Amino acid sequence: MNTLPLTDLSLEDLLPHRDNMILVSEVLEVDCKHALTTCRVDPLWPMADEKGVPSLILVELAAQTAGVCNGWERIQTKGRDSDPTGWLVGIKKADFFIEYLPFGGSIVCSAENINSFENLREVFCEQHLDNALIGRITLQLFQA
């Protein structure tokens, strides 16, 4: 199968999320092992309040960035019209170094598949805001 360039794919092609549940703003890099995204913090995001968005949302940003990588692999190996079923996500470890994400802030999120076996992945993720590390998360993904 020919590799589809990233410019020919939308976030909806890569992720099972729709509408305001897509928190990734832009895909900067992607291949079958890693992804690098930006996520612009928006007052419409889940859990937003007058202070910003609690750092717990970094888990979802990590999961969506991992989803970009694994969605890319699915499309490259099975085709654009393959089943985009999402993954069940478990949190193996999470460290947050900020309490709230500021509205308008641009979070750079990296995700790398560090272990992969059939329909199971372990993914290491880091998030940065203004070049400062704000989150480090290890996820376990399973696709039924």
For residue 115, is it left (φ>0), alpha (ψ between -120 and 50) or beta?
Answer: beta
Where in the sequence is the domain holding 76, given as residue range(s)? 6-142
Cα 57 to Cα 99, 121, 127, 144: the distances in Å are 11, 21, 11, 24
- pTM value surpassing 0.75: yes
Q: pLDDT value at position 86?
A: 76
Q: Buried (b) or exposed (e) across 42-60, using 16+ Cβ within 10 A?
A: eeebeebeeebbbbebbbb
Q: pLDDT value at position 1?
A: 45
Number of compact structural domains in the chain:
1
- The answer to whether position 37 is within a domain reads yes
Q: Minimal CA–CA distance to 36: which of 11, 56, 62, 15?
A: 62
Ranges of beta strands (E only) in 68-131 are: 88-96, 100-101, 106-117, 120-129
- The answer to whether position 1 is within a domain reads no
CATH number, domain containing residue 116: 3.10.129.10
- The answer to whether position 53 is within a domain reads yes
- The answer to whether position 129 is within a domain reads yes
- The answer to whether position 21 is within a domain reads yes
- The answer to whether position 32 is within a domain reads yes
Sequence-distant (6+) residues with CB within 8 A of 116 are: 122
Distance from C-alpha of 6 to C-alpha of 44, rounded to nearest angstrom: 27
Tens-level pLDDT at each residue, the chain (144 residues):
456 556 666 666 666 666 677 899 999 999 989 999 999 999 999 999 999 999 999 999 999 999 888 887 877 788 778 777 778 899 999 999 999 999 999 999 999 999 989 889 999 999 999 999 999 999 999 987
Q: pLDDT value at position 69?
A: 83
- The answer to whether position 121 is within a domain reads yes
Q: pLDDT value at position 104?
A: 97
Task: Quote the tokens at residue 122.
Answer: 């372990």
- The answer to whether position 35 is within a domain reads yes
